[in-house]
Amino acid sequence: MATQPLIQVLFVLMPNSLILDWAGPAEALRIANQCLVAQGQPERFALQFVGPDADTPSSVGVQLTGVQPMPDALLAHPATPHWVVLVGLPGSSIAVDNAAARAVLHWLRGLRLVTQQLELVTVCAGTLLAAHAGLLTGRRVTTHHQHLDELRNVAPECEVVANRVFVEDAPVYSSAGVTTGIDLVLQRIADTCGEPIAAQVAQTMVVALRRGPHDPELSPFLSYRNHLHPALHKVQDAVSLDPRHSWTVPRMASIAHTSPRHLTRLFMEYAKIAPLQYLRRIRLAVAHTALQSGHSVNQAAELAGFSSDTQLRRAWHQLGQAGAPSQARPG
């Protein structure tokens, strides 16, 4: 399998940037690298902190030093994929009539966004900076609720979505602000590295993965993980990473160094689901993804660890999936 390219993540820091807007997402990416390396995989993210000033104050008064200059140019087709992360600033409105803002906007206007090559991630009022730079034309975006009207005025040509944790409209990804930047980056980690890695990052950070009110229900990779029991998380990690393994409750229990009966009690108490039922939901999620990628029902069943396409179809209906597996394939 070809090695995935290292994604350069550029956090653009202006004077007084809200520290949680960038520190939380940056930590999530750092932990994702840590989880990947622990599984023998290469890191996926290289973090850079860039801005108009090498030394700049943060929103809480701590002075940041060593901020790198913004790269002279990021091409529309860079050799290395990049994410540009714009974060919020304090205040009821975003002022762009100062030297730092003018420098950032001039740099942003030179960007040509391309999905999977040069993407934009905005946290809180960072969306306003993108709007002032003209990067949101025709896009669906969100921002902090205090800035929604401001965003509509600055960028009437984009669709402003209210009451959402984050909005995805590739190559633009926007979040409502502060802690929701972590939610958005966790979703980008899931998209890039797989849902099991995102679940491990969320567990390490002790945060619940959330979606907006109109988004689909969390997948099984992210559900059943809102607990702090380390042995149970270890079993869930193992099952998620290798659903094709011939799992039984005793084999799962050996991962947790406990008895099968005690493991079942742990699953029911903390995850609110039985071990084999959890395994079936994980396998069904893998099969569903395979079907959406164009695999046949037989191929999807094999990839997910079902013994046959009949077993996949049985699980499909028993777990409440609409239609038939074949209808999940594109076209």
**In angstroms, rounded to a whole number, what is the distance separating the alpha carbons of residues 16 and 22?**
12
pLDDT digits (tens, 9 = 90+) for 239-291: 998 999 999 999 999 999 999 999 999 999 999 999 999 999 999 989 988 89
**pLDDT (average), residues 212-216:** 44
The predicted structure's pLDDT at residue 217: 46
Residue 312 has which token pair? 């996949």
What average pLDDT does the chain have? 90
- Please give the CATH topology (third level) of the domain spanning 230-328: Arc Repressor Mutant, subunit A (1.10.10)
Q: Which CATH number fits domain 7-205: 3.40.50.880, 3.40.50.2000, 3.90.1150.10, 3.40.50.10680?
A: 3.40.50.880
The predicted structure's pLDDT at residue 77: 61
**pLDDT (average), residues 141-150:** 92
Residue span(s) of the chain under CATH 3.40.50.880 come to: 7-205
**pLDDT (average), residues 88-104:** 94
- Lowest-confidence pick of 185-194, 212-221, 270-279: 212-221
Residue span(s) of the chain under CATH 1.10.10.60 come to: 230-328
pLDDT digits (tens, 9 = 90+) for 64-79: 999 999 998 776 566 7
The predicted structure's pLDDT at residue 331: 67
Is the predicted pLDDT of residue 213 greater than 60, yes or no? Answer: no
**pLDDT (average), residues 38-57:** 96
Alpha helices in the chain (DSSP H): 19-38, 99-108, 126-132, 148-154, 180-193, 195-205, 230-241, 249-256, 260-266, 275-292, 297-304, 309-318
